[in-house]
Structure 1
């Protein structure tokens, strides 16, 4: 005969069930957080049984529960005896569905063989392996770190599960970025090659019509100079002057474009000898302008000899070009006393610092950065010759030598260029001592 429960009885039973559920939840929480060390369970057939938790001391259990990695304990059959909340969160399932399940039930089919190897080896020695576990709507890439534990009920296998999702995302992003950089580098190399080819072809193609302009202009000037009105002679001279500037500019552009290639031919270079060669080349010009040059004890460094010579040639040429008409030009080229030497055990490479200064017209300090820009001119082309590329070439060469160059000046009080260069280059250098040029005196006479 069915007994119909009253509303009050149902309310009372529901309250009792709620209390029992709350008590069970508190007990489980106490076990997982280490608040109890033993349990007494009333078994109908065996009576009261005492279950100790000696091996899971409170500090250890609290640590396991609070850690950011998943942590589980397996028996010899791979059944999960214990799991922290983080592992359940990784799987996106309740903790109650984790404990008591076999760990391999959360391993995708394609990783089952790897997990079996890990599980077997883990009983012998500490082992790590990357694979994946299955969550509700996908896979979680992770690293499993396994080690054995000796519990009261026997040996168990401790497994720490580290979520590698963020790491894998970063790795994939880095791979994508690296691939994109390789593509960009390939595109830049192809573009640079095309630009170099264009500069070379354009320079050669422009030279021919320019050469004809100069030839025919000079022919007109030499044959019919007396027949030309004064205005026509001035215009013809401007044609010749502009053509000469054009030729110099084409040559400078070609030289600038070539600096991007074949720049690994370094050798031992004596900077003093290089400067002396330049002074010999400029001997007539120096005598005409009565230029005085003072040279200090310049060091020997590893460099591309032809290119480093062009650096000093451009700077000396600039100092001559922008000298004052009412004052004897003076150019000083000296090493700075702070030249660094190699320190034993130091990773820093020794460097040298060279100062090239003059007493010329100088320039406004506001232009000290722009002065190295391509085609940058601070003075009128009618009064001072040049293409505006010389200092850009100078800076590019210094950069290629892993050095720096800095310009400072006060308008009307001369200019100073500071060059800092490594004594040795981080490339395979052709270290040939060059002794073909003899050492000269500190002052080159006008």
Structure 2
């Protein structure tokens, strides 16, 4: 029998050896291809990761770019603000330099003003010293002169009294008239000297303040003036009661002068009515501190009063608003009253209306 031979279906047959080599090559190629595919997969995976990282970096760059835009904008704004501040600083420095110059000028002016003030203070101290010396000399002159005037006045009064007693029957009517005028003039001069002495004492007398009831002083004055009050049939009404630190003797003189003034200037044919009131108050005048407590003393009457235009003159020395022949006086009584009130760091004011009485308001610090 003859052997059958394998014939390839594609029309030709490979040798066995070649076929084996071909398979090995194919396996190798496949393996190589598999490796390349794996490498490509790895590269693709790495590429994906790289792309993701790149995308993230791009986003970060965009964010940084946006932040940089904002930062640049802010920087530009800050630069503008710095330029504005710099301009303002230049203006401020210019203003400061001007103010410093002005301060230097003011300082120089202040030095001059202080020097002038020092000079003026020294001048005032000199004037004050001179004024004190002058016042002391004037007070001494008034006091000594008044005492020296007392002696010749007493002699005039003694001799006129002797003439009136021993020689009155030998005098003619004209002589008696002249003698009467001498007695009146001597009496007026006596009153004037006494008032001048009282006025001078208000300056030189030692000022010892005591806490005293004002009513006690008023009642003592009314007691001392009882004869004049009874003679005039006057009605004196006292109300209220303050206590204050006063100089008792001077305050007695003050109240005495004011009540005597009301009695003296009473209306003919009408009973004098004098009202005295003392109350505590916060003063309401512009001449004294409003924070202090004051004793407000009011003395009013129904006398002849005075014209309103003379309010500022009634306290001046030797001011007499009425006829001396009809109303005797020296014109010093109210000046003494004003001086005493000033010694008490207070004020006194007067109000009046012709034929409708007068009113005196006194404010004395309580302490």
TM (norm. structure 1) is 0.59
Mapping of residues 402-417 of structure 1, within 5 Å: 402-417=345-360
> In the alignment, which residue of structure 1 is the partner of 2:203?
260
| 1:186 lines up with 2:129 in the alignment | yes
| 1:385 lines up with 2:321 in the alignment | no
Cα distance in 2 between the residues matched to 1:60 and 1:306: 74
Q: State whether residues 359 and 413 of structure 1, in contact with CA within 8 Å, keep that contact through their aligned partners in structure 2.
A: yes
> In the alignment, which residue of structure 2 is the partner of 1:210?
153
Q: Which moved further from structure 2: 261-270 or 211-220? A: 261-270
Q: 1:73-106, CA deviations, whole angstroms, 9 ceiling, x for partnerless residues?
A: xxxxxxxxxxxxx5xxx9xxxxxxxxxxxxxxxx
Cα distance in 2 between the residues matched to 1:270 and 1:207: 36
> In the alignment, which residue of structure 1 is the partner of 2:33?
none
Q: 1:46-81, CA deviations, whole angstroms, 9 ceiling, x for partnerless residues?
A: xxxxxxx99x9443332121225587xxxxxxxxxx
Mapping of residues 430-445 of structure 1, within 5 Å: none
Cα distance in 2 between the residues matched to 1:194 and 1:244: 27
Cα distance in 2 between the residues matched to 1:264 and 1:405: 19
Mapping of residues 209-358 of structure 1, within 5 Å: 209-262=152-205, 264-335=207-278, 339-340=281-282, 348-358=291-301
Cα distance in 2 between the residues matched to 1:374 and 1:420: 21
| 1:61 lines up with 2:90 in the alignment | yes
Q: State whether residues 209 and 247 of structure 2, in contact with CA within 8 Å, keep that contact through their aligned partners in structure 1.
A: yes
Relative to structure 1, the CA distance from residue 57 to residue 382 in structure 2 (aligned partners, 3 Å threshold; closer, same or farther) is same
Gaps of 5+ in 2: 1-78, 284-288
| 1:165 lines up with 2:108 in the alignment | yes
> In the alignment, which residue of structure 2 is the partner of 1:368?
311
Cα distance in 2 between the residues matched to 1:264 and 1:60: 66
Q: Post-superposition shift, 1:162?
A: 8.0
Q: State whether residues 69 and 163 of structure 1, in contact with CA within 8 Å, keep that contact through their aligned partners in structure 2.
A: no
Q: 1:297-320, CA deviations, whole angstroms, 9 ceiling, x for partnerless residues?
A: 221111111111111100000111
Structure 1's consecutive aligned runs of 4 or more residues displaced over 4 angstroms after TM superposition are: 68-71
Aligned residue for 1:295, secondary structure, equals: strand
Cα distance in 2 between the residues matched to 1:66 and 1:317: 72
Cα distance in 2 between the residues matched to 1:166 and 1:360: 60
Q: Post-superposition shift, 1:164?
A: 2.3
Q: Which has the higher strand share?
A: 1
Cα distance in 2 between the residues matched to 1:417 and 1:173: 43
Aligned residue for 2:187, secondary structure, equals: helix
Q: Post-superposition shift, 1:352?
A: 2.3
Q: State whether residues 139 and 204 of structure 2, in contact with CA within 8 Å, keep that contact through their aligned partners in structure 1.
A: no
Answer with 1 or 2: which has the greater Rg.
2
Q: Which has the higher helix share?
A: 2
Cα distance in 2 between the residues matched to 1:254 and 1:388: 14
Q: State whether residues 401 and 421 of structure 1, in contact with CA within 8 Å, keep that contact through their aligned partners in structure 2.
A: yes
Q: Post-superposition shift, 1:283?
A: 1.5
Aligned residue for 2:351, secondary structure, equals: strand
Q: Post-superposition shift, 1:163?
A: 6.5
Q: State whether residues 209 and 246 of structure 2, in contact with CA within 8 Å, keep that contact through their aligned partners in structure 1.
A: yes
Gaps of 5+ in 1: 1-36, 38-52, 72-85, 91-141, 143-160, 425-446
Bigger relative contact order (CA 8 A; separation at least 6): 2
Q: State whether residues 263 and 304 of structure 1, in contact with CA within 8 Å, keep that contact through their aligned partners in structure 2.
A: no
Aligned residue for 1:284, secondary structure, equals: helix
Q: 1:255-290, CA deviations, whole angstroms, 9 ceiling, x for partnerless residues?
A: 212322345421112110001101111122222221
